[in-house]
Amino acid sequence: MALLAVLAALVCATLAATGAAGVRVELTRIHSGVTASQFVRDALRRDTHRHNARQLAASGSGAATVSAPTRKNSPGGGEYLMTLAIGTPPLSYPAIADTGSDLIWTQCAPCGTQCFKQPAPLYNPASSTTFGVLPCDSSLSICAAALAGAAPPPGCACMYNQTYGTGWTAGVQGSETFTFGAAAADQARVPGIAFGCSNASSDDWNGSAGLVGLGRGALSLVSQLGAGRFSYCLTPFQDTNSTSTLLLGPSAALNGTGVRSTPFVASPAKAPMSTYYYLNLTGISLGTTALPISPNAFSLNADGTGGLIIDSGTTITSLVNAAYQQVRAAVKSLVTLPAIDGSDSTGLDLCFALPSPTSAPPAMPSMTLHFDGADMVLPAESYMISGSGVWCLAMRNQVDGAMSTLGNYQQQNMQILYDVRKETLSFAPAKCSKL
């Protein structure tokens, strides 16, 4: 997820078994009826936890396209959910789409007191004819490294305990058939997907039934499908009814005059940084004014610190403090409304008091993120957020030298293509609710 660090406690244990393609998935966003202030505060809390955990952790081509429906989870949720199905017969479930991690997992029955409430029925491996425990020495087993080439004990299954910045989950690694696509005619069934069958988790997953890692590691859905590329279009944050589609495989493409492309920066070899999609952000403009930010403010250092990643699981963009303060000052200079500190109510430190809770915010120029070879233009509604009579800069500061993150709030209404073979990110403005 955005600002999450992946920490895993790996154990091999004996457990009796309970008896690539291209892909299309729709994304949704979870709604819980909370105020905008509560939403931002909760999203920032989750983002901060992810960032802190990351900082601690840092001291084949498919034959067809796989698709998944995607939607915003809720007005109070900061994630986008993709819908897919698991097992035989297939059981549909919503999972957080996360380019900042690799493991695919869902809650499994039996699940005791350490499980969270989810909108879909629990997947039961005993009810599926295609479930199998993943062998400890599988190339996709988290425990393979712990074995160090030694033969696993008979019946060995890999028990994992994976910690994210926003929570944790634990269970056994399995292998299953996953089904993608909403309409029967467009469905694709992919056997042998390695996933986490969790029977204990924290209560922090915001309307989902699990998570789908879309990172650069071998365990991610992208890598297991050999997709080569994938794309998504995140619907506006306030639109909780529309869906868009996540595409993995050949049909994930962007064409047109408005498309811009920038190369990925090579990721550090060390986990978890090896999972992230790094970009080279060289500057930021507000309107026609280029802000006085050092061109190396976002550089990825040789020791793996610094840099900027794009993350569909993080909500609010974070910028190293030297850059954030320039953005903050520029925004403040253009707004004549009374400035207030929204740290307590929203978690955002630059907010403005609107004349009334129903007042429309004033007009603001676009903000441009200057990437290597490509400019990403953000309209005001993608960098400012309003609600409950306040209007805030939807960005936060990061300690200089720490990793910056381009969150999903800034990615709304943008069609984005990750070409992992060509090592490029492409993007273009779009009305995602209409795609």
Catalytic residues: 98, 311
Q: Give backbone dihedrals phi and psi of 194, rounded to 5 degrees, phi first.
A: -75, 135
Q: 264 Cβ partners below 8 Å, 6+ apart?
A: 277, 278, 279, 423, 424, 425
Please answer whether residues 190 and 79 qualify as being in contact, where contact means their C-beta atoms are separated by less than 8 angstroms.
Answer: no
Q: Can you read off the two tokens belonging to residue 244? A: 């868009």
Cβ neighbours for 269, distance < 8 A, ≥ 6 positions apart: none
Distance CA 356, CA 54 (A): 39
Q: Hey, how many other C-beta atoms are within 10 angstroms of the C-beta on 317?
A: 29
Tell me the pairing of strands 66-72 and 244-248: antiparallel
What's the residue count for the chain? Answer: 435
If one counts every other C-beta atom within 10 angstroms of the C-beta of residue 344, the result is: 8
CA distance 306 to 402: 5
In angstroms, the CA 272 to CA 48 distance is: 17
Q: Which two tokens stand for residue 150?
A: 């030694």
Helix (H) or strand (E) holding 172: strand 168-180
Q: How is residue 274 annotated by DSSP?
A: G
What does the alpha-carbon distance between residue 169 and residue 434 come to, in Å, rounded to a whole number? Answer: 35
Helix (H, G, I), strand (E, B) or coil at 54: helix
CB 403 within 8 A of CB 51: yes
